[in-house]
Amino acid sequence: MTVLHANMSVAESASGRVRRHLLVDRIYHWLMAACVLTLLATAFLPIIGYKFEWLGLHWTTGVALSALVLIHIVRAVIWQDFWAMMIDGADIRNGWRRVARALGGKGAEPALPGKYNGLQKLYHAGIAVLVLSIVITGLLMLLKIDTPLWRRNPYVLADYQWGWIYVVHGFAAMALITMVMVHIYFALRPDEWRLTRSMFRGWITRREYEEHHDKTRWAADAR
Amino acid sequence: MQLFRYSTSIYGGSDVLIGASWDLLKWFAVAGAVIIVLHAVLKALTSRRVDRA
């Protein structure tokens, strides 16, 4: 596998491209996006007045999202560079320098990030908390509906416990709207277009890699 | 503005918590719009400053 990666990197280096996302990760991203958008639409369109039979599509999509998240967690822990997405001291230092300079300060320039910058990692942490909250409460809420696989049994929890489960599910789902808006905004910004392209085609150019990333923190050539 | 939704107990007891208030939905959308506008303005201002320098 490592040899395969190395060979791929040599070929990509020659063509001036650096691989950022494998096909499997891009497929995961777009399937997750489809699930989240479907879940938001089936949850909130009826609330704002577009009435339709939403529950069947909502819970089946929720189960699909749960499976995708489980696969992603296993993949991130075993096959991907788990720590590449964790906020570290360098990210905090860079973030502080960026804020100081944005406010007119003349301190040190922020250093280049690794594969992901501090804000991307922060965004990922936020999305992880929200989606895990939604998945866990959503799976519990399946106990309140009849499906082809099981009969409803809402009596496993008390009314007030169900109330709090619905509160967490609802707040996390509404916060997801904010997060999706911000995500789409950044994806459409021209200065972030290389990242959006990499989520479609898998690569950034070598020049983009050298301009925007610290080779010691994201050794793309070594993978 | 309500934070939570309650249903009235059919047995006449205290109201039962049933979820988050959907009145908050528009405020989460507004929060997204505010973040986007603030970032766009900040980016425009800082890039102008860099251009001048």
The answer as to whether B1 is a domain residue is no
Q: A47 and B39 in contact by Cβ < 8 A?
A: no
> Please, are residues A40 and A65 in contact by the beta-carbon 8 Å criterion?
no
Q: What pLDDT sits at residue A112? A: 94
Q: Which residue of A has its CA nearest to B25?
A: A174
By three-state DSSP, how is residue A147 classified?
coil
Distance from CA of A50 to the nearest CA of B (A): 15
Using the structure block, give the residue that is written with the tokens 């502080």: A96
Those residues whose C-beta lies under 8 Å from the C-beta of residue A147, and which sit 6 or more positions away, are A59
Domain total in chain B: 1
Closest partner residue to B28 (CB to CB) among A160, A166, A177 is A177
The answer as to whether B49 is a domain residue is yes
Would an 8 Å CB–CB cutoff place B12 in contact with chain A? no
| Residues in chain A within 8 Å Cβ distance of B33 | 181
> Please, are residues A164 and B18 in contact by the beta-carbon 8 Å criterion?
no
The whole-model pTM stands at 0.88
By three-state DSSP, how is residue B16 classified?
strand
> Please, are residues A86 and A120 in contact by the beta-carbon 8 Å criterion?
no
The answer as to whether B41 is a domain residue is yes
Torsion angle in degrees (nearest 10) through CA of B29, B34, B40, B45: 180
**Interface contacts (A, B; CB < 8 Å):** 59
Q: Which residue of B has its CA nearest to A101?
A: B46
Q: What pLDDT sits at residue A175? A: 98
Would an 8 Å CB–CB cutoff place B44 in contact with chain A? no
| Residues in chain A within 8 Å Cβ distance of B32 | 177-182
Q: What pLDDT sits at residue A66? A: 98
First-last CA distance in chain B:
47
- Token code pair at residue A111: 């250093």
The answer as to whether B34 is a domain residue is yes
Q: What pLDDT sits at residue B8? A: 83
φ/ψ of residue A99, rounded to 5: -65, -45
Interface of A with B (CB under 8 A): 44, 47-48, 101-102, 159-160, 162-164, 166-167, 169-171, 174-175, 177-182, 185, 191
Q: What pLDDT sits at residue A4? A: 38
The answer as to whether B8 is a domain residue is no
pLDDT in tens, A45-71: 999 999 999 999 999 999 999 999 999
**Eight-class DSSP state of A51:** -
pLDDT in tens, A118-135: 999 999 999 999 999 999
Range of the domain at B34: 24-53
| Residues in chain B within 8 Å Cβ distance of A163 | 16-19
The answer as to whether B43 is a domain residue is yes
CA–CA gap between residue A106 and residue A97 (Å, rounded): 9
The answer as to whether B28 is a domain residue is yes
> With a cut of 50, which residues of chain A have pLDDT below it?
1-11, 222-223
pLDDT in tens, B3-25: 999 998 777 778 899 999 999 99
The answer as to whether B18 is a domain residue is no
- Please give the single-letter amino acid code of residue B3: L
